Amino acid sequence: MKRAIAKAKAIDTTQGVRPAMQARSLRKRYDLLKAGRKLLHHRVLEEIPIKEICAEANCTVGSFYSRFEDKESYFDALIAESCQEMLNRAEEAFDLQSWEGISPSQIADQVVCFLIDLFQGEYSSILTEAFLRESKGGHQSTPMRDVGYAFINTVGRLLLPYIPETIHPDPLRGLAFGLQVLYGSLHNARLRDAGPIAFHTSEFEQSLCLMFKRYLGL
């Protein structure tokens, strides 16, 4: 329940989104956002008309505009919802107590696998669309940056004690850059998959794990 409330709040506070006050309105908003997430797996946002989003969600265009000011605010809400969900998953996956007695090498492997799952799974299209918008010099996705910083802090609780200061005098900065390199590699693979190692292979996963661990000195 707490996580559902946090997700609704993240959407409600997005500019251009009209707060949903009733359960039925919340459900319609959820259906519209779910439709966009599905359609984005096949096309970029600018190619998807609002009418198609509404048809996929079994809603009217009027229902769309009663909840979102325009398609930009709609996508901002989609980002806000996805970011809150990703943050919830990260906090659950990397709960401090759950990893007691586990080696830092295994933790680092799981961090990489967690991020790969995001970029290959249901959030992949949202991450790609947000990246494309920012690369064109357009609207910046503050929720995406915020969830990135939050993820650093979440996994940092587990990994920072094991990062050698002889390699990284500032372990937090070292971890942050390591994750930045992972994000960049995953964005590039998701957008182009130009190789030499294919994105959807075990070799790609193993190579990223090895690179991340060696950079951190684990």
Q: Mean pLDDT of all residues in the chain?
A: 84
Alpha-helix residue ranges (DSSP H) falling in the chain: 2-12, 23-39, 50-57, 61-65, 71-93, 104-120, 124-135, 142-159, 171-191, 202-216
Q: What pLDDT was estimated at residue 111?
A: 96
User: What pTM does this model have?
Assistant: 0.81
Closest CA to 119 of 109, 108, 130: 130
Closest CA to 30 of 63, 52, 1: 63
Distance separating alpha carbons of residues 212 and 163, to the nearest angstrom: 12
Distance separating alpha carbons of residues 5 and 189, to the nearest angstrom: 34
Note the pLDDT tens digit of each residue in 10-25: 565 666 666 666 667 7
123 forms bridges with which residues in the sheet?
Answer: none
Note the pLDDT tens digit of each residue in 75-92: 888 888 888 888 889 989
68 forms bridges with which residues in the sheet?
Answer: 17
Closest CA to 216 of 172, 186, 157: 172
Q: What pLDDT was estimated at residue 9?
A: 60
Structure confidence at residue 161 as a pLDDT band (50, 70, 90): very high
Q: What pLDDT was estimated at residue 76?
A: 83
Is 140's pLDDT higher than 60? no
Q: Which residue has the higher pLDDT, 127 or 204?
A: 204
Q: Which residue has the higher pLDDT, 145 or 206?
A: 206
Of the candidate ranges 13-17, 29-33, 71-75, 98-102, the one whose mean pLDDT is the lowest? 13-17
What's at 19, amino acid-wise? P
Across 174-185, b (16+ Cβ under 10 Å) vs e yields bbbebbeebbeb
Q: What is the mean pLDDT of residues 96-116?
A: 93
CA 73 to chain centroid: 18
